[in-house]
Amino acid sequence: MTAAQGVLLRPITMGLLLQSLFLLLLLLLGSCLHPAAAFPKGCYPSEEEGLKTFRCSNAQLTEVPRDIPNDTNKLYLDFNQIPFLPRDAFRDLPLLLELDLSHNAIARIETGAFQGLAEHLHSLDLSSNRLVSVSKDAFSNLKAKVNLSNNPWLCDCRLQELIRAVELAAESSGGIVCDSSTQEEHVGKAFLQVIADTDLCNVYKKTTDIAMLVTMFGWFAMVISYLVYYVRQNQEDARRHLEYLKSLPSKQRRSEESSTISTVV
């Protein structure tokens, strides 16, 4: 290579170097302006059968993650330690079709926890949690098939109202068993078997009516007792007063007798 050629190549080399530095700078700026999504440890997005899926199975979560992609179709939060579902827990997931919350520690579901999912959600798995009693309002307008099996349910009117308000997932109803009950003989039985023979809401109503009747009878007995005591006390006072009047001189006695009689009347 001649000296003249070296002189000509030098500006070209410098230009290429400057262009490379400029491109590198653009890449660095782009990564700062659009950082990669920071998912919780153990969570990752994927695509399964053409559906956008977000898996957080066995990720040691203690709450519902906040940075779930809002175009997620299937969400797996199973095998974690989530204790309760707050209001609007899934409000930013309008395209969610399936939600798996099985094998957690969920003991409480706030009303509105599934708000925003009524449009598309068709499968909700809450099996193997710690649910004892849940208001039917927590599932208001939800059309999904729900799995409520393997929870320590209290079998009462509230659970009866809940079961009648949701659509149970196929073959999951047998797993809804009375861990405790307002009636001891129902413990250990499948809940659908219990309500096939007994209307727990009517039983509760009858129990409440009996309690009200007993309370009213108690108050009525107290009022009657007080009236009897009051009358007897007044009679005793009147008798004593008449005896006192008899011991007075005749004129004064007649005057006070008439006064006592008019008072008694």
Per the listing, tokens 């070296």 go with: 6
DSSP state of 157: H
The domain ranges of the chain are 39-198, 199-236
Closest CA to 126 of 152, 146, 153, 108: 146
pLDDT tens, residue by residue, 236-260: 666 666 666 566 565 554 555 555 4
pLDDT greater at residue 12 or residue 30: 12
pLDDT of 59 above 80? yes
How far is the C-alpha of 13 from the C-alpha of 1, rounded, in Å?
A: 15
Per the listing, tokens 């994927």 go with: 46
48-52, 75-79, 232-236: which has the highest mean pLDDT?
Answer: 75-79
For residue 123, the model assigns a pLDDT of 97
pTM: 0.65
Strand segments (E) across 127-172: 145-147, 153-155, 167-168
How far is the C-alpha of 90 from the C-alpha of 145, rounded, in Å?
A: 17
Closest CA to 184 of 165, 203, 202: 203
Least confident of 28-32, 133-137, 175-179, 211-215: 28-32
For 199-213, what is the mean pLDDT? 59
pLDDT of 262 above 80? no
Any residues with CB less than 8 A from the CB of 169 and at least 6 apart, and which?
123, 125, 145, 146, 147
How far is the C-alpha of 197 from the C-alpha of 189, rounded, in Å?
A: 12
CATH class of the region 39-198: alpha beta
How far is the C-alpha of 59 from the C-alpha of 80, rounded, in Å?
A: 6
Least confident of 4-13, 14-23, 213-222: 4-13
Buried b (16+ CB within 10 A) or exposed e, 83-105: ebbeeebbeebeebbbbbbbbbe
